[in-house]
Amino acid sequence: MLKPKVKGFYEKRTNSIQYVASCPETKKAAIIDPVLDFDPKSGATSTFSADEILDYIDSEGLSVEWILDTHPHADHFSSAHYLKEKTNARTAIGDQVVQVQSLWKDFYNWPDFPADGSQWNHIFKDGETFKVGQMDARVMFSPGHTLASITYVIGDAAFVHDTLFMPDGGTARADFPGGSAKTLWNSIQQILVLPDETRIFTGHDYQPGGRDPAWESTVGEQKRENIHLKDGMSEADFIELRESRDKTLPMPNQILFALQVNTNGGRLPKPESNGTRYMKIPLDVLEGAAWETDE
């Protein structure tokens, strides 16, 4: 089995990790979950993070075949569209993205928005296989965090994004619209039947205990050490733990901005007649969300 060379890029504003997975034989590569920088306080956007990825691709002599999103992110903008313009690579996401598009289309009152996945070049079905260079890759449907979440398995590497965190961080929240702790449990169990030596690359790291950012573990390490899964954790106990914790978590500060961009394949709103782009913020649609406090 060819094993990808994996380079992670930590984006500290949203604690996100972006990846480049490249074939050692062909120098073909996939970019996974890239970030478009956004400051919700000023409304400023930038391509700092995406350009760092492009610099790495240039320095390594790589050719990008795929720009892959694991799901429409709630905590950062995707730079998939920007990177497609720079690399001419194909963009892709899981086919259940249409469920998320339909949900948020109603929240934003966008009657003409095409909730059909057409914003990407390809939408993957569960179990579908593809290639990155000469490396075998496949898609696992991994819902729970969102309705559309998927895992990309490329060689011996699994890009799980918002399912598993590092073992000392546990697992991802499941309280976004369409999320489910029970469904997340089932998705995690499917990931954990991969070979123990499978490398796990997670999409966020919140640096528990103030340690340095980290994003690579293995299936074996997750089974032995993950604080939400070890010591014989049952499904019922996991669901209780996950749902109790989720009730205390405020929504990500970019969620109402990000879903406008990410359900549209990483495209910013079109400029209006004065040349400025505007975003639409629905009020009171995320009922029951915890309020952020200073305590």
- Would you give per-residue pLDDT tens digits along the chain (295 residues)? 889 999 999 999 999 999 999 999 999 999 999 999 999 999 999 999 999 999 999 999 999 999 999 999 999 999 999 999 999 999 999 999 999 999 999 999 999 999 999 999 999 999 999 999 999 999 999 999 999 999 999 999 999 989 999 999 999 999 999 999 999 999 999 999 999 999 999 999 999 999 999 999 999 999 999 999 998 899 999 999 999 999 999 999 999 999 999 999 999 999 999 999 999 999 999 988 899 875 5
What residues contact 23, with CB distance under 8 A and at least 6 apart? 2, 4, 29, 132, 133, 134, 135
Domain presence at residue 288: no
Note down the domain range covering 127: 5-260
Spatial distance between the Cα atoms of 249 and 291, rounded to a whole number of angstroms: 8
The CATH number of whichever domain residue 128 belongs to comes to: 3.60.15.10
Domain presence at residue 281: no
Structure tokens at 140: 């696992």
Q: 279: helix, coil or strand?
A: coil
Q: What are phi and psi of 69, to 5 degrees?
A: -105, 140
Domain presence at residue 38: yes
Domain presence at residue 139: yes
Provide, for the chain, the percentages of residues in helix, strand and coil under a 3-state DSSP scheme, each rounded to the nearest 5: 25, 25, 50
List, in sequence order, every residue forming a beta bridge with 25; answer none if it has no partner: none
Please provide the DSSP assignment of 104-121 as one string: HHHHTT-TT---SSTTSS
Domain presence at residue 142: yes
Spatial distance between the Cα atoms of 54 and 82, rounded to a whole number of angstroms: 11
Nearest to 148 by CA among 44, 46, 70: 70
Domain presence at residue 94: yes
Looking at residue 294, its pLDDT comes to 58
Nearest to 192 by CA among 174, 208, 171: 171
What's this model's pTM, rounded to 2 decimal places?
0.96
Looking at residue 292, its pLDDT comes to 82
| CA 196 to chain centroid | 23
Spatial distance between the Cα atoms of 243 and 239, rounded to a whole number of angstroms: 6
Looking at residue 271, its pLDDT comes to 97
SS (H, E, C) 61-97: CCEEEEEECCCCCCCCEECHHHHHHHHCCEEEEECCH
Number of domains comprising the chain = 1
DSSP state for residue 204 in the 8-state scheme: B
Domain presence at residue 230: yes
159 membership: H or E segment, kind and range: strand 157-161
